[in-house]
Amino acid sequence: MGKALRSWWREGERWYLAIGLANLVLGTSSVLIPLAVAGLYGRSAAAVGLLASLVSLVGVVGSLVWGRLSDAAHRRKPFVVLSYAGVGLCFLGISLTRAFHQLVVLNMLSNFFWIANASVTVLIVIENRDHATWERKIGHLNQFGAIGWVAGLGLGSLWTAVLSEAAGDALTIRSLFVTIGLASLAASLLAFRLVPRTIPRFTRRRFRGAVVAMGNFIAEKGRFAPLHLYHRLDPRRIGRLLTRPEGFQPGTRRFLASTLLAFTGLGLFGIPLPLVLSDRFGFPSSFVFALFMIQHLGIVFAYPLAARRIRRLGNRSVQAAALSLRFVLFGGAAAYLLLTATVPPIAVLVVAFVVYGVTWSYFQLSGVALTSRLARKENRGAALGLYNALAGLGWILAGLGSGLLTERLGYAATFAAAAALLLGSLAVLRFVPDPMKTTGQQSAVRPEPRPEARQSRRHPIAAWASCRRGAEPTVRPEAS
C-alpha cells in the first residue's frame, strides 16, 4: 500500500496541484449552492431546479464557445488560468449577494468560466506525448481531481460544523464562499506558474480512444465529461446521423434514447437531494456535506472495480445493473418519503450514499465505452459528442421538471418520476445489442490480468498504480 502510494505520487506533475485545488472549490460549491438557495434566500426546490437548468445550459453553450476559441488561439494554458480566476471572482461575488437573481447570474458565470478549463485540461495532459501513456495520464489527472472534490466536501462539512453554532448559517455560508473564492484565485496563480506550455494538436481518434478507456468517474453533474468533443458537433450532421440509414445504427439510436431518459432521471433525483436532506429531514449542513463526501468516495474507490467488471461482463450488462440498482434506490426513497415522515437511520443513509456513488462509476464508464462500441467507426466521435450533449440536455430537463414536480406534488413524486425514467431507460436498453456478442470483441476486452493487476485488487490505489506501470486499459485507443 505504501509503495503504491509513493509510486502514485511520483507519477504526478506539479501543476496537478492546481487541478486538485480547483476541484476542491467545485466540490464544496456543489452542495453549498443548493444550501445557499434555501438558507440565504428562503427559496424552495423549484428555485434549485431552475438554477440547475440554467447552469447546465450555460455549460453546454460554454463548451461550444471555449472549444472553438481554444483551437483558434493555439494555446491551452491561458484558458486554465482564466477559468480558475473567473470562478474565484464569481464565488467572491456570491458571498456579497443580497438577491436570488444575483446568485443565479454569478453561478451561471462561474460554470461558464469553469468550462474553459474543462475543455482543454485533458488535452494539455496528452498533447505531444506518446499515445501509449494517455490512459495513464488521464487517469492520474482524474485522481487528483477526485481527491480535490472529496476534500472540498470534507472542507464544507468541517467548516459548517465548526461555525454554524457560533456564527449562524447565513454567515457560515457566506464565509465559505469567500474561502473557496480565494482558493480558486490561488489555483489560478498555481496554474499560471506551473501549467506547461504545449503545442496544440487535436488527434481526434486517439483522444477518443483515451476517453473511452478512462470514462468519467468523478462527478455526476458532468463537469468532467470530455467537453472538448462538444464543439465537434454539427447540428445538421447530427440530424442526418439520426434519421438516415447511413447514419447511426438502430442500436446506437436506441442507446442514445436510453441515455437521455437515464440522465433526466438521475437529475430528477440528484438536483433536489440536498434540500430533501436539509429541509425535509432537518439535517445540519455539515452532515449533508458529509453524506455527499461518502458518495464521492464511493465513486473514486469503485472505479477500478468497475473497469474490471466491464472487462468481465461487458458494457451493456454493467450499464443495466447500475441502472437497476439506482432504480431500486430511487424507488425506495420515494416510497419512504410517501409512507413516513420520520428521519431515516444514519446507517441506512450511509449505505444508500455508498450505493449512490458506486453505481455512478459503473454507469458512466460503461456508458461512454458502450457509445463508442455501438457506433460505426466513422461516426464514433459524433456519437460520443452527442452522448455528452444528451447528458447535459437531460440535466436541463431534470432541473425544470424537478422544480415543477416538487412544488406541486412533493419530493416523493419527484423521486418516483426519477425511478420511472430509469425504468424506461432499462426498457429501451433491453433492445440495444450487446457489442461484445454481436462483434465477437469479448476476447479483446478481457485480457489476461498481469501480476500487477491481480495485486491491485487489494486496494483501489494499488489498482491505479498498476495502471501507471502499464496494466491493460479497458479499451485500447484506436491507431491513427
pLDDT on residue 283? 92
295/131 Cα distance (integer angstroms): 32
pLDDT on residue 219? 39
User: Is residue 149 included in any domain, yes or no?
Assistant: yes
Q: Which amino acid makes up residue 309? A: R
Per residue in 273-297, pLDDT tens?
999 999 889 899 999 999 999 998 9
User: Is residue 471 included in any domain, yes or no?
Assistant: no
**244 three-class SS:** coil
113 pLDDT more than 80: yes
46 pLDDT more than 80: yes
pLDDT on residue 249? 82
Domain count of the fold of the chain: 2
Same domain, residue pair 295 and 434: yes
How many whole angstroms from its chain centre is CA 73?
27
The whole-chain average pLDDT of the chain stands at 79
Query: Count of H helices and E strands in the chain?
Result: 21, 0
202 pLDDT more than 60: no
**472 three-class SS:** coil
b/e burial code for range 174-212 (CB count within 10 A of at least 16 → b): bebbebbbebbbbbbebbbeebeebebeebeebbbbbbb
Same domain, residue pair 182 and 218: no
**CA atoms within 13 A of residue 406's CA, in its CB half-sphere:** 28
Per residue in 430-480, pLDDT tens?
998 887 665 544 433 333 344 444 444 444 444 444 443 333 333 323 332
179/472 Cα distance (integer angstroms): 41
Model confidence at 244, pLDDT cuts 50, 70, 90, reads confident
181/118 Cα distance (integer angstroms): 18
Which letter does DSSP use for residue 232 in this model? G
- Return the higher-pLDDT residue of 204 and 226: 204
Per residue in 398-438, pLDDT tens?
989 998 999 889 999 999 999 999 999 999 999 988 876 65
The domain boundary residue, chosen from 178, 197, 216? 197
Question: For the purposes of burial, counting CB atoms within 10 Å of the CB of 168, is it exposed (0-12), middle (13-18) or buried (19 or more)?
Answer: exposed
pLDDT on residue 366? 86
Per residue in 18-40, pLDDT tens?
999 999 999 999 899 999 998 88
- Return the higher-pLDDT residue of 72 and 353: 353
8 pLDDT more than 90: no
pLDDT, average across residues 363-381: 80
User: Is residue 36 included in any domain, yes or no?
Assistant: yes
Cell (9 digits) for 156: 464544507
Model confidence at 370, pLDDT cuts 50, 70, 90, reads confident
Cβ atoms of residues 172 and 32 within 8 Å: no
Q: Which amino acid makes up residue 33? A: I
Same domain, residue pair 264 and 168: no
Cβ atoms of residues 91 and 25 within 8 Å: yes
DSSP string computed for 287-355: HHHHHHHHHHHHHHHHHHHHHHHHHHH-HHHHHHHHHHHHHHHHHHHHHHHHH--SPPPHHHHHHHHHH
Cβ atoms of residues 364 and 300 within 8 Å: no
Alpha helices in 119-249 (DSSP H): 121-126, 134-167, 169-194, 204-214, 235-243
User: Is residue 346 included in any domain, yes or no?
Assistant: yes
Same domain, residue pair 222 and 130: no
- Return the higher-pLDDT residue of 93 and 473: 93
pLDDT, average across residues 229-237: 55
140 pLDDT more than 80: no
Same domain, residue pair 249 and 138: no
Question: For the purposes of burial, counting CB atoms within 10 Å of the CB of 230, is it exposed (0-12), middle (13-18) or buried (19 or more)?
Answer: buried
pLDDT on residue 450? 42
pLDDT, average across residues 342-354: 94
Same domain, residue pair 131 and 210: no
Same domain, residue pair 176 and 321: no
Same domain, residue pair 285 and 188: no
Which residue is associated with the grid cell 416523493?
412
80/19 Cα distance (integer angstroms): 9
User: Is residue 458 included in any domain, yes or no?
Assistant: no
Picking from 183-197, 217-231, 351-365, which range would have the lowest pLDDT averaged per residue?
217-231
Domain containing residue 246: 205-226+234-439
Model confidence at 128, pLDDT cuts 50, 70, 90, reads low
pLDDT on residue 84? 95
> Which CATH number belongs to the domain containing residue 283 in this structure?
1.20.1250.20
User: Is residue 462 included in any domain, yes or no?
Assistant: no
pLDDT on residue 180? 95
In the chain, the percentage of residues whose pLDDT exceeds 90 is: 36
Same domain, residue pair 187 and 312: no
Same domain, residue pair 23 and 150: yes
Polymer length of the chain: 480
Per residue in 291-318, pLDDT tens?
999 998 988 888 778 878 877 877 888 9
Cβ atoms of residues 227 and 117 within 8 Å: no
pLDDT, average across residues 216-244: 54
178 pLDDT more than 90: yes
Nearest to 258 by CA among 363, 359, 332: 363
Model confidence at 176, pLDDT cuts 50, 70, 90, reads very high
Model confidence at 144, pLDDT cuts 50, 70, 90, reads confident
Same domain, residue pair 8 and 60: yes
Same domain, residue pair 136 and 247: no
Main-chain phi, psi angles of 277, to 5 degrees: -70, -40
User: Is residue 463 included in any domain, yes or no?
Assistant: no
CA torsion, ordered 233, 264, 180, 346, to nearest 10 deg: -150
Cell (9 digits) for 386: 452527442
- Return the higher-pLDDT residue of 99 and 72: 99
Cβ atoms of residues 218 and 146 within 8 Å: yes
